[in-house]
Amino acid sequence: MVAIRQVSADQNSELAACVKAWRHRLVPDDRLLARRRRARRSNVTQEEVAEIVGVSVVWYSNLERGVRANYSDAFLDAVAEALRLDRHERELLYLLAVGRMPSPSPVGATAVVLGPALRQFVEGQRWATYVLDRYARVVLHNEVCEAYYPWLRSDPSYPRWLFTDADARRRLVNWDTDWAAPLLTQMRIAQALHPQDAGIAALVDACLATNPEARCLWNAHAANGCTLQSRRGIRLSSDHRTTLVDVVTLTDPSASELQIVSLIPVADPA
């Protein structure tokens, strides 16, 4: 159990000073919502950070003012990500805000470091583009992506959506052969590359346990989805018609475990 100690008034003052300083050092053009800015300000505002974190301005401003509150790990982690904190700064944020160190990561979980160049690349794409980690979690995506994958607003797990949500079958044409089988192949490869990673093993077990068709595909041992590009059908959230997309997968040499995926609409023939 993680020990919790009393947070003093002085520490709350230090919390306020640290969080404010971390926000002020942000470069506006490096933020997730840079292109949504309504005015040219020299500093990133509390409102903008709150929007990135996904909470109300009041709740975020409480943290920045050093107000004592029951801040959740998810909230503090989101703040650390939005403010671009390194490991030591994240630990300091936890100590000052809730009087303890961050909870240990689950066995096998691996932290993802997203560089500013990768963020700029993804956010600058005109097509739906997202980044998957070794657990097939969407750790970064642009705004266009939500038209294809509205589930991203609530859950970053691609396998959980694909194998447990009926909406996936409605949206994904040829769900089993074009979408499920390639993802299972990627999961099999990840498991082979990281045999000691309990997180990947747990993900595979959960997917196979909740979806009989996934288990059948897994037991078939077919190595599908290894090509860099494939054409697939998908239905947008705002339209029941099928849209053909080329699914293009890239890797970042500086973060080889990450996959960058773009869904490029196929132009209608003239």
Q: Give the model's confidence band at 270: pLDDT under 50 very low, under 70 low, under 90 confident, else very high.
A: very low
Instruction: Please give the pLDDT value at position 255.
Output: 73
Integer Cα distance of 34 and 86 in angstroms: 21
Neighbours of 229 (CB within 10 A): 10
Integer Cα distance of 147 and 126 in angstroms: 13
Integer Cα distance of 61 and 63 in angstroms: 5
Instruction: Please give the pLDDT value at position 197.
Output: 83
Residue 72 phi, psi dihedral angles, 5° rounding: -80, 160
Instruction: Please give the pLDDT value at position 2.
Output: 46
More reliable by pLDDT, 140 or 227: 140
Integer Cα distance of 75 and 60 in angstroms: 9
Q: Give the model's confidence band at 264: pLDDT under 50 very low, under 70 low, under 90 confident, else very high.
A: very high
Residue 136 φ/ψ region, left for φ over 0, alpha for ψ in the -120 to 50 degree band, beta for the rest? left
CA 140 to chain centre: 5
pLDDT tens for residues 115-150? Answer: 788 888 999 999 999 999 989 999 999 999 998 998
pLDDT tens for residues 58-105? Answer: 999 999 999 988 898 888 988 988 898 877 888 899 999 998 888 765
**Residue ranges of domains in the chain, CATH in brackets:** 9-98 (1.10.260.40), 116-265 (3.30.450.180)
Closest CA to 53 of 40, 71, 41: 71
Range 45-50, long-range pairs (CB < 8 A, 24+ positions): 49/23, 49/79, 49/82, 49/83
Percent of the chain predicted with pLDDT > 90: 37
Range 216-223, long-range pairs (CB < 8 A, 24+ positions): 217/176, 217/180, 217/181, 217/184, 218/184, 218/188, 222/181, 222/185, 223/185
As given in the structure block, the two tokens for residue 222 are: 């077919």
**For tokens 């963020």, what's the residue?**
119
pLDDT tens for residues 167-195? Answer: 899 999 999 999 999 999 889 988 888 88
Integer Cα distance of 217 and 128 in angstroms: 27
Which is it for the CA torsion 54, 55, 57, 59, positive or negative?
negative
What is the four-CA torsion angle of 77, 83, 84, 89, rounded to 10 degrees? -70
Task: Give the global pTM.
Answer: 0.59
Which residues, in sequence order, are bridge partners of residue 130? 141, 261
As given in the structure block, the two tokens for residue 134 are: 């070794």
Q: Give the model's confidence band at 8: pLDDT under 50 very low, under 70 low, under 90 confident, else very high.
A: low
